[in-house]
Amino acid sequence: MLLCLAEAEQKPAGDTDREIHAQAPPASLSFALSPELTVEREGLLQAVVFVHCQLVAGQNEGSIKPPCPGAPPQLTMDARVCEHAGPTLLLKAHRAAYKVRAFMEQVTIIGTGCAGLTAALYTARANLNPLVLTGTMPGGLLTTTSVVENFPGFPEGIDGYELMTRMQKQAERFGARVRFGTVEKVELGSKPLRLTVDGEQVETQALIIATGAGHRHLGLPSEEKLEKKGVTYCATCDGALPMFRNKPLVVVGGGDSACEEALYLTRFGSIVYLVHRRDQLRASKIMAERVLGNPKIKPVWDSVVTEVLDVAKDTVTGVRLKNVKTQAESVLDCAGVFVAIGHAPNTAIFQGQLDMDDNGYLITRQGTATRVPGVFAAGDCVDHVYRQAITAAGQGCAAAIDAERYLAALAR
Ligand code: NAP
């Protein structure tokens, strides 16, 4: 597999751009290969080539990078748009006259949240040309947040999606290659390290794991059956849906996430019930004060959801509650249930290969190193204590520096 070592050549001006944005049928493009690549002539073989295109801010333009030095051999192929992931466009070539042998990445980063993109920025600026794999949620959990008010440098706050888009652009500016792809398997027992990404092999000398965390579920069968039928884990993504407009809504949880969800939902719901299993919020003081002072939010203390109603109707009509102090049961009518009870680390693919605690958080030592040399971890997949955007970014920076030093030592 060839990973982003191609450069557009001899294309009529504007041709590539038009193809990208029109998402048009296959068009012929000509690429020049980097001289470091080994090219084997094997007749007309299928070759998958990902070429990164960087959008020029504010304009619908694309350009292909990075430039390849020297006088490279020529490769002509048909290309078409196959993915559109935020500001990065991936072109997929589907017919090529050459097979290009895989080459090894210096550093691969899994995850494009705060930790992953900060690691990308630092490794890119260290000329390590990092490959950055998005997973299924490009930009990570912060893209599901409305306004981020506690990331330094943004006194008015910044939209979570915009913050992550800016981070990606900043990393790409220095040569990070962000690719839409999900890592299905890792083989960390030998060198080079191997990843299977959407069925394709990637070999890498160093790996930075920044896979973040996913939403924790209540674990109720009715919750699972009614997911996307009124049960959701993201108010910013789903809150504005017509099914929730001017209807009573329930948020479950007592942390910052639950408070943020409840506040956001006051824009849409007739009333927002905040169901919490204790009589005190875990959230930061400022968030708790905002929630408790909002007339559209009604806390329901000491209560847990025991069932989401109504599976028989295939839509959410309410929740069955139990008061944990009195054991009294009740039903609360609502059109939506927004579960915000924390997160679980996305580390299942590393099970048995890396050390992790009972909750699945990766265990690091000496900074961001895991027990496998060359494998580093940062952000919400490691940190169950601070779990902030800025601490994740800091750990991503540390992981990049650790990886850079590891690679420098390898080269000596
Ligand atoms: P969290 O702080 O771990 O809070 C989870 C909440 O869910 C707790 O109130 C917990 O109850 C409750 N809970 C957990 N399991 C439950 C269950 N099975 N049934 C019912 N309730 C359950 O998680 P978070 O709110 O997602 O926040 C995670 C981190 O991100 C925190 O460090 C937070 O500060 C940060 N964050 C910050 C912001 C912001 O600054 N604007 C926004 C979002 C998140 P107990 O309290 O009883 O344990």
Domain boundaries, given as residue ranges, for the chain: 2-100, 105-215+344-411, 221-339
pLDDT at 109: 98
Ligand 1 centroid to Cα of residue 338, in Å, is 13
- CA atoms lying within 13 Å on the CB side of residue 90: 21
Q: What is the pLDDT of residues 237-254, one digit of tens each?
A: 789 899 999 999 999 999
pTM: 0.69
Catalytic residue of the set 198, 237, 333, 355: 237
Contact 330, 343 (CB under 8 A): no
DSSP letters spanning 33-88: E-TTS-EE--SSB---EEEEEEEPTTSS-EEEESPPPS-PPEEEEEEEEEEEETTE
pLDDT value of residue 32: 38
Query: Mean pLDDT, to the nearest integer, of 340-363?
Result: 96
Write out the E strands in 168-295.
177-179, 183-187, 193-197, 200-209, 213-215, 231-232, 248-252, 271-275
- What DSSP letter does each residue of 356-408 carry, written as one string? B-TTSPBP-BTTTB-SSTTEEE-GGGT-SS---HHHHHHHHHHHHHHHHHHHH
Give ligand 1 pocket residues (Cβ under 6 A).
150, 218, 252-258, 260, 277-278, 282, 284, 304, 341-343, 387-388
Average pLDDT, the chain: 79
Q: Which two tokens stand for residue 170?
A: 């900043």
What is the Cα–Cα distance from 45 to 362, expressed in whole angstroms? 41
Q: How high is the pLDDT of residue 103?
A: 64
Q: Find the 1 Cα to ligand 1 centroid distance in Å.
A: 42
Q: What's the rounded mean pLDDT across residues 139-168?
A: 91
Ligand 1 closest atom vs CA 218? 18
Domain covering 105-215+344-411 in this structure, CATH number: 3.50.50.60
pLDDT score of 199 more than 70:
yes
Specify which residues 90 forms β-bridges with: 52, 83
82 is catalytic: no
Catalytic residue among 53, 68, 114, 234: 234
Q: What is the three-class DSSP state of 3?
A: strand
Rounded to the nearest angstrom, the distance between the alpha carbon of 256 and the centre of ligand 1 is 6
Same fold, 105-215+344-411 and 221-339: yes
Predicted pLDDT of residue 144? 78
238 is catalytic: yes
Query: What's the confidence (pLDDT) of residue 136?
Result: 87
Q: Give per-residue pLDDT as tens, 29-72.
A: 333 333 333 333 332 222 333 333 322 222 222 333 332 333 23
Domain 221-339: assigned CATH number: 3.50.50.60
| Helix, strand, coil tally for the chain in percent (to 5) | 25, 35, 40
| Contact by Cβ (8 Å): 110, 202 | no
